[in-house]
Structure 1
């Protein structure tokens, strides 16, 4: 197969018998280039299928108008909603967003960051992968002077801007709700505690149990990747205990969905026998039967604030705090899976 040569600015200049510099200025709407020349250059560029080299342009200008976004999973309504609001806000300021997905993989997260830095992005907005325990690749972003804003999952030791919810208080509120429903043996399907948000959810869970004089039992606490499969596996293990829990708090709606499937397959009455609460307010939680109680993390608000934090970093020379930590209010949404009082109505 014949490889077609990529059209360059020199090809356009040769076709019009003008200088490459004039072509470059015409393509960028330079005021010193006449409208007639601009029109002719753009027409030839289209005919020759010219594709601008954005990387070269970024190197020349020191600005690419590109912002990289890294999410752990693209199939999550929470993360997709955050990305939508980031893109919506930044596009108004002339930025394009490059979206990458780590799939919860540390190595892929490192490669994503390497690619974004090579592309000369003006900033990176990221949420860490579950596997990430070493932060050198994030420190590398900082060392290059590229603005880094973390959302949802971030680490205090990075000392960068952060937008998220209060995971401790959100978790505490879930346990308090389950206690008010009469639950006394509450299990927790959590994320890995090396990640700050999941560590805080576990701490909130344990301290709530202590506060309400409920037992903290290691056999009721599990750490995992919070997938549907994890939820199914751990729920089955919990049911096989000599004394199963009467409530389950999952730190992810996906794990909660897996747990729900096992409960239904075993003909467990929800919430009478076992109540269930998830986390993130994924779309499916309100659509299935029984609907799943969950925590609304205000994804749209987090996305907008993350974008605005980036814009302040690059545009406002008077706004230079070392660290800007924005905590968004969460909301416990009580639905059928944990609302025992509704059964008495």
Structure 2
């Protein structure tokens, strides 16, 4: 059975016995249209279940009032909080967002960029997937004059504005804290992917060891996708070493929680025998037993700043502003999983 025909401004005009152009102006809050007419048009639009055609509107006036947001996954507290911050700013300016997930899949990311461009979004805000090492698809919005801003997982291969946390400093602070707690053989869970955040966290780990006179040992650096199951496998691998670590710093909270599960199953005391620290301040870190030391990335603030930067570029046509890199300072949150020494 055929569906009902789509309601257009012509149906509203016919119902109110006015012209379609008057309906269009009323819906766009044109000051030339009286408040009485605007209210009548809005009431009729609601009664008829009128849905505006944003693509058609974008073709007419060059603006869709929609921003595309690409995240690796929306079910992580960090990305959900960043999106919330972006929406707070966007909604105040009468903009809506389309949230897309790449699932760290390069092909999916490419397809998403194309889909958002086809949908005539006014701009794109994105966090690059772990498996992305070719960024040509991110050049397409720029070639079309559409603003692009990256956050968290970024790349210097593109001349775009970025908002990031100081991942290097966050990692350095974690290792410094572990050393102050008496740890001397500190392992690190990292990612093999060429993503800036993990490279910077590894660099912070390495430099902190060096600055405090501790050797860098390749066997203590375990590469994985940093999911819960990866943390479990990585911890099992470390426990097979003849000389076991006395601390683990994971570049993600999920990896650290996987490690914690293994240590508890083996009845290895945390932090007395092996201290644990993560990165990201996921909500579960404050409920684990022991609670997990981690790094707060101020995700909500990151989202708001990213949106503000985006709208700066959008208002300027993205031609007058030089790409900017905003670096937020992280905060080390010390909890029970690393506290060997009294505060």
TM-score interval, smaller chain: over 0.9
Correspondence for 2:288: 288
Query: Aligned pair 1:214/2:211, yes or no?
Result: no
Could you tell me how far 1:202 is from its partner in structure 2?
1.0
In 2, Cα distance between the equivalents of 1:321 and 1:16?
A: 46
Point out where structure 1 has 5 or more consecutive residues left out of the alignment.
none
In 1, Cα distance between the equivalents of 2:213 and 2:40?
A: 79
Query: Aligned pair 1:80/2:80, yes or no?
Result: yes
Could you tell me how far 1:318 is from its partner in structure 2?
11
Could you tell me how far 1:250 is from its partner in structure 2?
0.3
Could you tell me how far 1:10 is from its partner in structure 2?
2.5
Correspondence for 1:159: 159
In 1, Cα distance between the equivalents of 2:181 and 2:85?
A: 36
Query: Aligned pair 1:19/2:19, yes or no?
Result: yes
Deviations 1:84-130 (A, max 9, x none): 11111121111112211222222222222222212211121111111
Could you tell me how far 1:36 is from its partner in structure 2?
4.5
Tell me, yes or no, if the aligned pair for 2:172 and 2:204 is still in contact at 8 Å.
Answer: yes
Tell me, yes or no, if the aligned pair for 1:193 and 1:202 is still in contact at 8 Å.
Answer: no
Correspondence for 1:117: 117
Correspondence for 1:264: 264
Deviations 1:204-241 (A, max 9, x none): 21122222222222221122221111111111111122
Give the match's secondary structure for 1:341. Answer: coil
Correspondence for 2:340: 340
Could you tell me how far 1:35 is from its partner in structure 2?
4.2
The 1:318/1:2 distance shift into structure 2, 3 A limit, reads closer
Deviations 1:71-91 (A, max 9, x none): 112122211111111111121
Higher deviation after alignment, 292-301 or 35-44: 35-44
Tell me, yes or no, if the aligned pair for 1:130 and 1:192 is still in contact at 8 Å.
Answer: no
Correspondence for 1:68: 68
Correspondence for 1:2: 2
Tell me, yes or no, if the aligned pair for 1:67 and 1:97 is still in contact at 8 Å.
Answer: yes
Correspondence for 1:92: 92
Correspondence for 2:231: 231
Q: Number of paired residues?
A: 343
Tell me, yes or no, if the aligned pair for 1:172 and 1:205 is still in contact at 8 Å.
Answer: yes
Matches within 5 A, 1:291-302: 291-302=291-302
Higher deviation after alignment, 64-73 or 23-32: 23-32
Tell me, yes or no, if the aligned pair for 1:66 and 1:96 is still in contact at 8 Å.
Answer: yes
Normalising by structure 2, what TM-score?
0.94
Correspondence for 1:174: 174
Could you tell me how far 1:263 is from its partner in structure 2?
0.8
Could you tell me how far 1:50 is from its partner in structure 2?
1.7
Deviations 1:3-23 (A, max 9, x none): 211112233334444432222
Query: Aligned pair 1:189/2:184, yes or no?
Result: no
Normalising by structure 1, what TM-score?
0.93
Correspondence for 2:138: 138
Higher deviation after alignment, 211-220 or 174-183: 211-220
Correspondence for 2:51: 51
Deviations 1:18-48 (A, max 9, x none): 4322222232233333445444433433333
In 1, Cα distance between the equivalents of 2:42 and 2:75?
A: 39
Query: Aligned pair 1:199/2:217, yes or no?
Result: no
Correspondence for 1:253: 253
